[in-house]
Homo-oligomer: A and B are copies of this chain.
């Protein structure tokens, strides 16, 4: 039995994802589709609209066979660490391929890009450092450095976040000499940053904005969402009383910042170069999350980077916690969220060959990755009313979802 891996956030799961699952199955010829999915908080430093358990249900209903969780310490990271954690997780699960979406849908653009980068490593590093020293944010500095070595002309436009992630996956596979074949599928008429609904394969970003702006599922959004997602979104909203947005966490993160010492704030992952003073100072004037980030934002500290930092403050993730993933090659365990019958058969056979434990709850896991995941989960549900919080938190202790 062969497995193909996807690396996803499913925030929320939409028609494009459903298409991607079908295409991946075809492209890879695999019998089993495994998705490694971000948990409560996402790569761009945002809470997921609905929790990982409800997103897992939507994913299984739409064709994924196994959903596992990408630990927080890999999920809320820039693309290279995000990709490293995701690829290592899929490697532990024995996938023979990983399939990701890209603008061109041509994998040779990525493999050629990888060769080019290897060849001009020094020029790339020098230019990257120069641009960083000029005060540019990492994504922009990196894009310019790639341009220098001719990478954008090779077919991948590294101004597209999706291509950046895809390139990070390819690097994570090749750098670690994993026997995983990278595959890519064109993203069709959906553009990652497009904020308008464009029919049945609208981007995750555009659907998310539509949902959070309206606070309910509009007819437009419903058109881009599979039935399973509409049902999970509705169930969640009814049971939890609301979806999750950063603004729901403003009171908590503001309280937290204003009762921390500057030393404690400086110990949080990502708070560097005296940013603690700026965060504290602007905190005196902030009355909304958007407004607060707007006051701190600079050329170097992009919106996404600041959102990640605030996620680390909210979840109490310190530099010492993050150091553990930076210096470890593999993941300490794989956390199973849900599976179909096919997934169950696959795992039954594969489990013995795994080098790390396959777990279904964090109970009894004694490592920084698990401890951080537990804190992140508590922080995520903290925006809900007291009685709801407890019920939703309890899902963490239940057996994996089986469809």
- Chain A residues in contact with chain B, CB under 8 A? 250-252, 254-256, 258-261, 264, 284-288, 314-316, 371, 375, 378-379, 382, 386-387, 389-390, 393
Contact = CB atoms under 8 A, between A and B. Distances in A.
A259 B371 contact: no
Given A251-B386, A386-B251, A386-B254, A379 B259 contact: yes
A316 B260 contact: yes
A287 B387 contact: yes
A382 B251 contact: yes
Contacts of A254: 382, 386, 389
A325 to B, nearest CB: 17
A303 B265 CA distance: 32
Contacts of A393: 284
Contacts of A285: 390
Contacts of A382: 251, 254-255, 258-259
Contacts of A284: 390, 393
Contacts of A251: 252, 382, 386
Nearest to A247: B386
A261 B258 CA distance: 19
Given A258-B378, A378-B258, A379-B259, A252 B252 contact: yes
A258 B387 CA distance: 15
5 contacts: A250-B386, A254-B389, A259-B314, A259-B315, A261-B316
Interface centre among A254, A256, A258 (most CB of B within 10 A): A258
B316 A375 contact: no
A291 to B, nearest CB: 9
Interface centre among A259, A286, A315, A378 (most CB of B within 10 A): A259
